Each structure stands twice: as structure tokens, then as C-alpha cells.
Amino acid sequence: MYTLGIDIGSTTSKCAVIKDGKELVAHSLQTGGLGTGGPEEAMAQLWQSCGLTRQDMACAFVTGYGRKNYEGADGEISELTAHALGGRFVFPDLRTVIDIGGQDAKVIALSPSGKMVNFVMNDKCAAGTGRFLDVMASILRLDVDALDTEAAKATAPAAISSTCTVFAESEVISQLANGVKRPDLVAGICRSVASRVAALARRAGVTERVCLSGGVAQNDAVRQALSDELNVPVSVDPLAQYFGAIGAALWAYKQQV
């Protein structure tokens, strides 16, 4: 039995196909989330990669920022449940999921059996999210995917004290004007994100194993800074950005058995 999971985020769309609730058969990602052609493009890429079709899917569930406006699924599932399920699929001993997305950050605490026991969410401010990194990368004329490489060159990471993205933007511009080196600024920016997310994590409760989920998981500088802030190892996997889609596909399977 094949089931489909769709995760429509604020900036990207992801899809995943699971076979018999156990095997990840295919996954895809396209830039463009809510209100764009991203979901359809991700779906087309998915079918092309695995040779299956929508008609082969016993059930499909959607999650993410744009789930309420998507009509191509059999049901929807909360992002919290989806990321918990997807995270446990990759890390069976997972106890804490830290999901840093484009518009929000979530920390999900799980019981030993994988049941969600607590969560804390930041969806009111861009600080501590992918959007914060996008803004800072633009100021520094860097591709957001190059931030961790640049941060690795730092010798004296800058302190970014502002807790607001708008004020932090002014602070970074001021530090640039005062001669602070770009790698040091990038390292400070990544640490700033980690500091805000770590504060969320402490409120939810941090139990090992801890993993990163979402697009920012690709940024090793944020991951390392978060590990330092929490004083625990923070795991990451190449599938981290697909945890929501994988979780939605697993949930679809559970509805059929």
C-alpha cells in the first residue's frame, strides 16, 4: 500500500510516498509554498522520480502552513503531529523535535513511545526563523545556503543583541559600516537564531535525542550553535526538510489499517 504526504510550507513544498508504513519510496521538494505552483510542481517531480501516480495512492494527507487551502488530499494533519511522526521515522529514539521553518519555529517534546507531551511555538516574530536568515543573507549579499560556510571562517563572532528582525537588520548594517568582518557577522547571526530557538526548547523541555527539522536544519552553523546553547548533541539528517511530508504519509497509512 502506498500513501502520500504533502507539506506545504511558507517558502517550499515537499512530498513523500511511503510504502506499507515502513519504506520511504520517493520524496521531492520545490521552492514555492502557499499560494504558488510549488505543490503541483513538487507532485509532478515526485511522480516522475518514482513512476507512480496519484491513483496509486491509497490515501493522501497534507500538512504545513498551506494545508487549509489545499484540496488535493483526503485529509489534513497538524504540523506538530507530522514532524513528530517524520522525526521518529528517521530517529526511532527521538524525544525532542526542533523545527525551524520559514515563518515559525516549533519545539515538540515526545514521550519514550513517541507521543507528544508538550510543545512551544514562535509564530509571532521572524527572529529565530528561516525568514530571519533570508533577510540577513540579503543584507550581506550572500545566498542563504552559503551562510554556514561563511560562518565557518569566523574568528570573532559578532554579538547580535536585537531581538527584532527589523532592529537586527539595522544592527548588522551598522556593524558592517564599523568594519566587522562578514564571516564574524554571519556566525553571530546564526548564534542569534540558535539562542532564540534554545529559549523555546527550554520552555518545552529538552530530552535527548534531539533533532532539527525543517529547512534551517541544513545550516550546520545554526545546528552547532544550538547544540552549544542546549549543551546536548543535536542530530540532523538529510531528510530533515521532509519530516513533515513523511509524517503526513505515515498518518495517511494509519488511517487505512
Please calculate the CA angle 70-131-107 and round it to the nearest 5 degrees.
Answer: 75
Interval 216-226 mean pLDDT: 92
Q: What percent of the chain is predicted at pLDDT more than 70? A: 96
Please write the tens of the pLDDT for every residue from 3-58.
Answer: 999 999 888 899 999 999 999 999 999 987 666 788 899 999 999 999 999 999 99
Q: Which domains does the chain have, with CATH numbers?
A: 1-91+240-257 (3.30.420.40), 94-236 (3.30.420.40)
Predicted TM-score (pTM) of this structure: 0.91
Query: How far, in Å, CA of 178 to CA of 154, rounded?
Result: 17
Residue 155 burial (10 A CB sphere; 0-12, 13-18, 19+): exposed
